[in-house]
Amino acid sequence: MADTYLLILLTLDATLRVATPLILAAMAGLFAERSGVIDIGLEGKMLAAAFAAAATAAITGSAWAGLGAGITVSIGLALLHGFACITHRGDQVISGVAINVVAAGLTVVLGIAWFHQGGRTPTLDASARFTEHALPFADAARGIPVIGPIYAEVISGHNILVYLALAIVPLTWWVVYRTRFGLRLRAVGENPAAVDTAGISVTGLRYSAMLIAGILCGIAGTYLSTAHSAAFVRDMTAGKGYMALAAMIFGKWKPVPTLFACLLFGFLDAMAVRLQGVELPVIGIFPVQLLQALPYILTVVLLAGFIGKAIAPKASGTPYVKERT
């Protein structure tokens, strides 16, 4: 019984670690889409940020310098997406896909040119990574029945970016639903013409949303290469940007439901890793690909209307053209 309980706790611990980049990227997508801009390029921004962070941390020996580089590169791509879609009113999906393709190719080319390790960056020392930290009284709490192991194994022992991701969710909720900026952001995603009539810049609000999305994707990418792993490897995001989009849709463009969707998807991913090659009674070798595909299947089912209804912001994906009078 104790071994089973410990296995459950370790799975939940892995869920938090796997869900962290999903949470950050999903919040980034939420800001973008609430402003009326579809951001398919979450994947590319995370990948570029992961490479920039790992490369900078390897050269400087500082994880914080890597974080700054990751955020800077991600913001640059986010503003490029905004320039194409907001200023020039280009197709938002094509722009996002282009960012993903460019990031996938450029990170490998630069990795080979700079480090000569087949597209990956050098392995980072502990001093150049975001390492795990035990919370106060974690060891002392282990002896407390039920609650103690949860605190010691699940809540404690993560790096600072995991706690930052969890803190960003209530902060996002507060910004979107309790501030003037959030009210205007939601309004520009529903009816940009009304916002423009009120004398508020639609372009400014959408660029602000893209800036926030760039920062969050930068943190997510940095987490992957300097916290969750110790180097950048080719295509290390492995579809997490698309999974974050699925989680955002599954959460109906709301911060707290999106968090739970990310945790669910992270749990399924963690279970897929633990069940790899495991033979179960009756079933035999469990098809982990089913667990990996489940987030996308659930999202399609949701969009089809079988389990509730997911309605995107009305102006999402539609460039705003100012009326001339």
Q: How many residues in the chain? A: 325
Task: Give the pLDDT score at 305.
Answer: 63
Tell me the pLDDT tens digit for each residue of 21-31: 999 999 999 99
Helix (H, G, I), strand (E, B) or coil at 138: helix
Write out pLDDT tens, residues 140-171.
Answer: 777 787 788 888 888 888 999 999 999 999 99
Element (DSSP H or E) covering residue 7: helix 2-34
d(CA 124, CA 283): 41
pLDDT tens by residue, 171-205: 999 999 999 999 999 999 999 999 988 889 999 99
Number of domains in the chain: 1
pLDDT band for 280, please (50, 70, 90 cuts). low
The residue with greater pLDDT, 317 or 67, is: 67
CA distance 76 to 319: 20
Q: Is 63 part of any domain?
A: yes
Cα three-residue angle 271-152-137, rounded to 5 degrees: 165
The answer to whether position 31 is within a domain reads: yes
Average pLDDT of the chain to the nearest whole number:
88
In a domain, 133, yes or no: yes
Cβ–Cβ < 8 Å for 265, 243: yes
Residue 196 belongs to some domain of the structure:
yes
Q: Are 45 and 31 in contact (CB under 8 A)?
A: no
pLDDT (tens digit, 9 = 90+) per residue, 45-63?
999 999 999 999 999 999 9
**In this structure, what CATH number is given to the domain that contains residue 34?**
1.10.3470
- Domain presence at residue 60: yes
What integer is the mean pLDDT of 119-134?
89
Highest mean pLDDT among 4-13, 277-286, 290-299: 4-13
Q: Which residue has the tokens 């399609």?
A: 300
The amino acid sitting at 54 is A
Is 152 part of any domain?
yes
Count Cβ atoms within 10 A of the Cβ of residue 160 and give its class: 0-12 exposed, 13-18 middle, 19 or more buried: middle
> Per-residue confidence at 283, pLDDT binned at 50, 70, 90?
low
Instruction: Tell me whether residue 280 is in a domain.
Output: yes
Signed CA dihedral, 138, 140, 146, 147: sign only? negative
- The residue range of the domain holding 37 is 2-303
Contact between 124 and 54 under an 8 Å Cβ cutoff? The reply is yes
Q: Are 28 and 307 in contact (CB under 8 A)?
A: no
Q: What is the pLDDT of residue 307?
A: 58
Q: Is the pTM of this model over 0.85?
A: yes
Whether the per-residue pLDDT at 119 is higher than 80: the answer is yes
pLDDT at site 143: 75
**pLDDT value at 79 more than 80:** yes
- Which of 48-52, 209-213, 219-223, 236-240 is least confident? 236-240
